[in-house]
Amino acid sequence: MGTDLNAPLGQGRKNRPKPRRDPRRMFGYAFLGTFTLAVAGLSGWAALAPDHLIRTPDPTASAETNPAAAEQATPSAKPKRAAGSLRPGGAYSGAHVEEILTDDGATVTKFTPRPREGDGPALISAETVRGQDPRMAALPNDDLIEDTPQGRLPIVGPDGLRPMDQYARPWSGARGTRIGLVVGGLGLSQTGTQRAIRDLPPEVTLAFAAAGNSLQRWMQDARRDGHELLLQIPMEPFDYPDNDPGPQALLVSRGATKNLAELHRSMGRITNYTGIMNYLGGRFLSNADALEPLMRDLGKRGLLFLDDGTSAQSLSGTLSGAFGVPHGFADLVLDSELSRNAILRKLDELERVARRNGTAIGVASAFDESVATIAEWMEEAGARGIEFVGISALVNDPQQN
């Protein structure tokens, strides 16, 4: 059997020469393997190395050798804003702005006020001031006071601030349903005055009778509790002298000079009120010659006038507009019948007027029944979305039209 297939395994084979290795091919394989390992190692080291081990180009050196490189500086080379530098214009023009770049790349901005010139108080200009700081509400603003032989009378301040604005009760400014309530006759009865100030919510405007007692003391208590104030001035009714409003009443027959003297004497008994309202006065309010000097004086002093609405012949609305006097009419007298149920019916009617017209004004006297019923009803009406405001928020103000 002469073939390899019949020979024993591994026997009878011819010895073949071993292949000869090419040195150039071996060198190429070695170089490729080494290069691959080097690239992989370098990539892993770059991914795991700490930030501080990576060197960044020196922007200063780059700028010296290549000016164009300065415009391509890396974010880490961003210059910091100089401490205390002032950013011009915009909302920050009154402050120093300092930006600091932290190690983690975040920017911290620090604002500090610029030094003021002089040692005087800091003054902030604003729009017309409405309302008074509650801590100072019991004290008059001396800029709104004129010393006269009749007493300290309200005047418009040198900057145009009116007593009506200064002593007004602030309110929300919302245009919902609003009601103003005025309780008058305060100062005539000590217990009645004390009860009204104590029991009535601060949203109720209190009207002090010019002929009352201890008015300045009661004024301070009422203002501390947040009430807006009016001064009730007695005026001649149609049935005078059978119905006499008092010795300081304004009378048609007295003439302008005498009536203004009586008005100022009453006005000087108290401070911190937003305006005046009439007590009686049907005849006086219907006489243009008698009423005009009063309205002219109120306009110059920055006070409002509230007409209690009891006289259909009143000219107060017409003349107040002629002399720039903020003016309002009461819609209802709430306690013409002095019983709880009757007052509640009037208050419910007042609410219907307010929901129909947007606003309404009700007036009452400081009787025990009136004070208790009004306080009770206000709590319920407030839950129905009624906002109670001071009278100054409801008058027709020529400066706001």
CB burial of 73-92 (b: ≥16 within 10 Å; e: otherwise) equals beeeeeeebeeeeebeeeee
Average pLDDT rounded to a whole number, residues 165-190: 96
pLDDT in tens, 252-275: 999 999 999 999 999 999 999 999
33 band by pLDDT with thresholds 50, 70 and 90: low
Phi and psi (nearest 5°) for 205?
Answer: -85, 130
pLDDT in tens, 46-98: 454 444 444 444 444 444 444 444 444 444 443 444 444 443 433 333 445 56
- Number of Cβ atoms within 10 Å of the Cβ of 377: 21
Is 316 or 121 the better-scoring residue by pLDDT? 316
Tell me the CA distances in angstroms from 5 to 12, 13, 14, 17, one per residue in order: 10, 10, 13, 21
Looking at the DSSP bridge assignments, the partners of residue 147 are 152
Domains contained in the chain, CATH given:
78-113 (no CATH), 135-400 (3.20.20.370)
Q: What is the DSSP letter of 116?
A: P
340 band by pLDDT with thresholds 50, 70 and 90: very high
Contact by Cβ (8 Å): 321, 401: no
